[in-house]
Amino acid sequence: MEITRRQAVAAAGASLLGGALASGKASAADARAIADVVVVGAGVFGAWTAWHLKRRGLKVVLLDAYAPGNARSSSGGESRVIRLSYGGDPLYSAMARESLTAWAALSDRQTLPLLHRTGVLWFSPAGDDYMARSMAWLKANGIAHLAGDTAWLRARYPQIMFKDGESGFLEEASGALIAGRGVQTVVADAGLTAQRVQAGLPERLSDGTLRVGGVLARSVVYACGPWLAKLFPDLLGGRIVATRQEVYHFGPAAGDGRFSPPALPVWADFNAGDIVYGFPGLEGQGFKIAFDRHGAEVDPDSQDRRVSSAGVDAARAYLAQRFPGLANAPFVHGRVCQYENSSNGDFLIDRLPGFDRVWLVGGGSGHGFKHGPAVGARVARHVADSALPVEPRFSLASKAAVQKRTVY
């Protein structure tokens, strides 16, 4: 009987899973089964980390308590914005640019696209500082974009109601990523299958080998998204905070193409930092809208995932003002997810204190999805090169316990 690649990968993982040691030391037989790296968590950060580690020729085991891109994870669901504008922040702008190239390459290899280059339209009252800094970065880095005043916006997007004095710009090559299916594709493209294991804390054996979730490994990466603070409550409680977030899909009238690509791009109403954003209809899912504001603190395992009627009403009120053609559109479906917020929105990529080869990766803070490829590449560099300094903004030391967002 022929063994498929998937079965072979699963079998290799299973032999690594069988390495429970009585002696607290890896035997010669176990040594052969020791993985170079076990990645705990197959969300977008863990999946791309595993992908990059595999590209480096390392033996990788991927564990997930549920499944890659599962419905409870922060990476699940339909779509995520990918944009390069970060108010001119050179760190995230450059990472988004690197990631866009990687997502595009992966998408191009698939039958169904993971990247929809719809463009991303930003608008705000003219003169907004964040917008001006974003545009200056796009210009300085030769990124294709169009910009204009209220008249330009109104002429180009008649389905949106712009207020007098607003201006905007369109990142032409950015757009939307397909989320849950995207993560599953990254895992498959790495030639991996996630083992269904809920991992606990790392154990260090007397010979320095690490054991996590029954797997022996030389290095461990915990990319557990909103679960990081549950797994390491003393260290990360209050420093990575999961908040409830809702998204809403509304259905345009039959045959109405004004709210789908190419007529409508992904859009973001900067709204002085209280961002409202949305997607044109993708893959038949309807027009999507969300508020970027942080909701109540929640538990990712058990939070109530029913969309609130207050949220649907708020979305509808916004539509009535900005997208009058959708004012009476039916609500077709919604989703409840969570952000895993660091204090200011900067990611966490640093070692677990007391362990040289155990990494904590997370704090996506509502903007992490697009950066999966760049985050994964950075983590893989750390695993390969222990002397590589941690980016100060990603350090554990920089993670405060008071929420004060500065990264949008």
Ligand X SMILES: Cc1cc2nc3c(=O)[nH]c(=O)nc-3n(C[C@H](O)[C@H](O)[C@H](O)COP(=O)(O)OP(=O)(O)OC[C@H]3O[C@@H](n4cnc5c(N)ncnc54)[C@H](O)[C@@H]3O)c2cc1C
The residue ranges that bind ligand X (CB under 6 A) are: 40-46, 63-66, 70, 73-75, 80-81, 198-199, 223-227, 231, 245, 247, 290, 337-339, 362, 364, 366-370
Question: Smallest distance from the beta carbon of 127 to ligand X, in angstroms?
Answer: 25
Selection from 12, 27, 38 nearest residue 357 by Cα: 38
CA–CA separation, 287 and 332 (whole Å): 9
Q: Which is nearer to ligand X, 174 or 209 (by Cβ)?
A: 174
Residues 6+ apart with CB under 8 A from 385: none
CA–CA separation, 243 and 299 (whole Å): 8
Q: Which is nearer to ligand X, 34 or 95 (by Cβ)?
A: 95
Question: Smallest distance from the beta carbon of 74 to ligand X, in angstroms?
Answer: 4
| Phi, psi for residue 180 in degrees, rounded to 5 | -55, -50
Question: Smallest distance from the beta carbon of 392 to ligand X, in angstroms?
Answer: 20
Question: Smallest distance from the beta carbon of 384 to ligand X, in angstroms?
Answer: 20
CA–CA separation, 307 and 48 (whole Å): 30
Other CB atoms within a 10 A radius of the CB of residue 207 amount to 13
Question: Smallest distance from the beta carbon of 387 to ligand X, in angstroms?
Answer: 26
- Reading the block at residue 107, the tokens are 């998408």
Q: Which helix (H) or strand (E) holds 7?
A: helix 5-17
Contact 189, 106 (CB under 8 A): yes
CA–CA separation, 51 and 193 (whole Å): 11
Extended strands (E) in 213-302: 215-222, 241-250, 266-269, 276-279, 287-291
Q: Which is nearer to ligand X, 65 or 170 (by Cβ)?
A: 65
Q: Which is nearer to ligand X, 86 or 137 (by Cβ)?
A: 86
Question: Smallest distance from the beta carbon of 295 to ligand X, in angstroms?
Answer: 10
Q: Which is nearer to ligand X, 206 or 213 (by Cβ)?
A: 213
Q: Which is nearer to ligand X, 52 or 80 (by Cβ)?
A: 80
Chain centroid to CA 290 = 16
- Reading the block at residue 55, the tokens are 């590209």
Question: Smallest distance from the beta carbon of 303 to ligand X, in angstroms?
Answer: 11
Peptide bond preceding 262 in cis form (omega within 30 of 0): yes
Which runs of consecutive H residues, i.e. helices, occur in 292-402? 309-322, 372-384
Q: Which is nearer to ligand X, 148 or 181 (by Cβ)?
A: 181
Q: Which is nearer to ligand X, 19 or 68 (by Cβ)?
A: 68
- State in Å, rounded, how far the first CA of the chain is from the last one: 53
Q: Which is nearer to ligand X, 3 or 296 (by Cβ)?
A: 296
Question: Smallest distance from the beta carbon of 118 to ligand X, in angstroms?
Answer: 13
Question: Smallest distance from the beta carbon of 39 to ligand X, in angstroms?
Answer: 9
Question: Smallest distance from the beta carbon of 307 to ligand X, in angstroms?
Answer: 11
Length of the chain: 408
CB < 8 Å & 24+ apart, contacts of 259-262: 259/159, 259/287, 259/323, 259/325, 259/326, 260/287, 261/116, 261/118, 262/118
Q: Which is nearer to ligand X, 46 or 265 (by Cβ)?
A: 46
